[in-house]
A and B are shown apart, each in its own frame.
Chain A
Amino acid sequence: MAELKYYLVRRMITFIPTVLGVLVLVFIISHMIPADPARLWAGGEKAKPEVVEAIRKKYHLDEPYHIQFMLYLNDLLKGDWGKSPVTKRSVFEDIANYFPATLELALVSSILLLIMGIPLGIVSALKRDTIIDHIVRIVALIGVSMPVFWLAIMLQWVFYYTLNILPATGRGVAPQVSYTGLYLLDSILCGDFNAFTANLSHIILPAFTLSFIGIGVIARITRGAILDVLSADFVEFSIAKGLTKLQLYKHILKNALIPVITVFGLQFGALLSGAVITETVFSWPGIGSYTVKAINSLDFPAIMGSTLIIALIYIITNLIVDIFYAVIDPRIRF
């Protein structure tokens, strides 16, 4: 595993250009918007010219773009993510407040994604070209083609408005003590069972909405991977060795897992970006709704900050996927 350590160090170094690239792109795109942020921050059309001018000075909006970007980077390196000119709060603290909600949502959706996607894929591979296989195929197709916001609204309509068994919006009850910021985990740690059920009922619809796009994708990839492995010679040789069904599946599933992990890594990124819409529809107080608010008010430091955190999570997820590879597949050496 010594190679793994070098690999991790190398990967950390490649983090830097990736993060820098993301920041440059977001900076350019957000600043290209033909609007006057200073006027907006000062209060809109009726703002006094002196106030607008003062804000422009204070936030260096009168400097050329590259200087502004350098100033932002300089602060970032010192650990200062900036202050929101709109809310006057520290961006870092805001993100620290909102981010756990998104993380919790993404984690719960990933669990749903895996516990539904992988078994569906296994079943459709083993029952290849039967009615079950076709149903999974159709579910997959619906999953990738259905707009998230529409699915979210439909679920709210069915489970809240019509059946009234699940809440439509919000995150639930905050547990008395916040250890991790993840409500479900914290309520278990506090031993607060009522808070746990309340939070669970709140997270079901948004988490399901978020995972539904991916379930079909994971199922299809799992199906293909298993069929691929089944046609491999070593499976026939394993049967000829007299292995039991259970041992045979151990070999098949481990081999089939490699492509599934790749796709899951990408899907996790999609979960984070999908969160923007889902969180908005379900009023989930996460980084997604925070970003939407920031964009609406041209809150540059907040936009940059939330992009930065999503980019970091994306990169870390991919790193974890790569480490998983190395653990599963001995042929991968770094």
Chain B
Amino acid sequence: MADNTLLNVEELKVYFYTYAGVVKAVDGVSFDVRRGEVFSIVGETGSGKSVTSRALTRLIPSPGRIVGGRILFEGKNLLEMPEEELRKIRGKDIAYIFQDPSSSLDPLFTSGYQIAETMTVHATADWKNAWKRVIEILKDVAMPDPHKRAKSYPHELSGGMKQRVVIGISVSNKPKLIIADEPTTALDVSVQAQILKLLLDLRKKYDTTVMLITHNLGVVAEVSDRVLVMYAGRVAEIADVYSLFGEPLHPYTIGLLKAVPNPLKRIERIEPIPGSVPDMINVPSGCRFHPRCPKAMDICKREQPPLVQIRGGRSVACWLYAEKNS
């Protein structure tokens, strides 16, 4: 396992110090990402999946702070790295794709310039070669008429084209890890599938690893190798995609799969999960899911369940599967 681990996150904690109180957006999250896989993080709005992904390269704006944990990327702890060294990793080894392509691009610069500058800043190309590469990249992301589009400003492009440019920026330095934070959510339904397919094609072509952040279980089932389910800032369950959809373990995952049409299994009727996402300032004691959990036990109210490994390389944080050793 050690060799093909690209990223190892341990006990990551990100808190936001707001006037209303401390929001524990991410509270002790651990997981591994292996080279070459598509690793998905699913969760509801506010589950901390986006914050987790941005914390990986310390892109947490004030009043947020990474208060604990360790992020090993190829053996180096990104949380202890000097800012300048980390800057050289951002956009080169770890590239991002953000949710809304319309606001990810600077409106005053051409799409070609914005791709080229990502390469020149990391010295993977000088300005002369960068422009040649821009055309190649735009061809790679299946941009129609790349020569013309390289000179287009963002407002002259459609949403799908803008996301292609953003993806082009992210692959321009042949990164080892691409973190795609809801890359299709802001797009038209008809374009979503195209963009997703493009992302997967590019993963093969550029031989890279993709971390996909989404709330869309259909997308997860379609593209992922392994899946992390997050709930209220904590890991609920980590499993390979077939096990997760075939035999979900955590009651939250079970509830989640009942709440949407399951692509792998016929379900009789759609059932919502009772209750709502907890207030992140006064989180429930013990297991954060216990007020909504149909199988809640006494211990769930008192103690946080540990993330335990069980068969087939799966992990789950639930007292149903843990040794009650305290």
Contact = CB atoms under 8 A, between A and B. Distances in A.
A247 B100 CA distance: 22
A254 interface: yes
B229 interface: no
Contacts of A329: 107-108
Interface stretch (B83-91, B247-255, B285-293): B83-91
B90 A234 contact: no
Given A331-B153, A331-B155, A241 B105 contact: no
A281 to B, nearest CB: 42
Contacts, number: 71
Nearest to A232: B103
Interface in A214-238: 232-234, 236-238
Contacts of A255: 106-108
A244 B84 CA distance: 9
A234 B104 contact: yes
Given A244-B121, A247-B117, A239 B90 contact: yes
A140 to B, nearest CB: 25
A237 B117 CA distance: 13
A251 interface: yes
A233 B153 contact: no
Interface in B196-255: none
A186 B61 CA distance: 53
Contacts of B118: 241-243
B122 A233 contact: no
Contacts of B117: 241, 243, 247
A247 B120 CA distance: 11
Contact of A233 (B90, B91, B103, B155): B103
B108 A242 contact: no
Interface string B134-167: 0000000000000000000101100000000010
B46 to A, nearest CB: 19
A242 B155 contact: no
B15 interface: no
Nearest to A234: B106
Given A251-B106, A329-B108, A242 B100 contact: no
Contact of B90 (A241, A254, A331): A241
Contacts of B109: 251
Given A236-B61, A237-B98, A331-B153, A242 B87 contact: yes
A258 to B, nearest CB: 9
A330 interface: yes
A331 B87 CA distance: 31
B39 interface: no
Contacts of A233: 98, 100, 103-104
Contacts of A242: 87-92, 118, 121-122
Most buried by A among B57, B59, B121: B121
Contacts of B100: 233
Contact of A234 (B87, B95, B103, B122): B103
A329 B107 CA distance: 8
Interface string A307-329: 00000000000000000000011
A54 to B, nearest CB: 65
Given A233-B100, A238-B106, A243-B121, 14 more contacts: A237-B104, A237-B166, A239-B59, A240-B90, A240-B98, A241-B95, A242-B89, A242-B118, A243-B91, A247-B121, A251-B106, A255-B107, A329-B108, A330-B107
Interface of A: 232-234, 236-244, 247, 251, 254-255, 328-331
Interface of B: 57, 59, 61, 87-92, 95-96, 98, 100, 103-109, 117-118, 121-122, 153, 155-156, 166, 169
The 10 lowest CB-CB distance pairs between A and B, nearest first, are: A242-B91, A233-B103, A242-B90, A241-B91, A330-B153, A240-B96, A237-B104, A234-B106, A241-B118, A331-B155
16 contacts: A232-B103, A234-B106, A234-B107, A236-B61, A237-B105, A241-B95, A241-B118, A242-B87, A242-B89, A243-B117, A255-B106, A329-B107, A329-B108, A330-B108, A330-B153, A330-B156
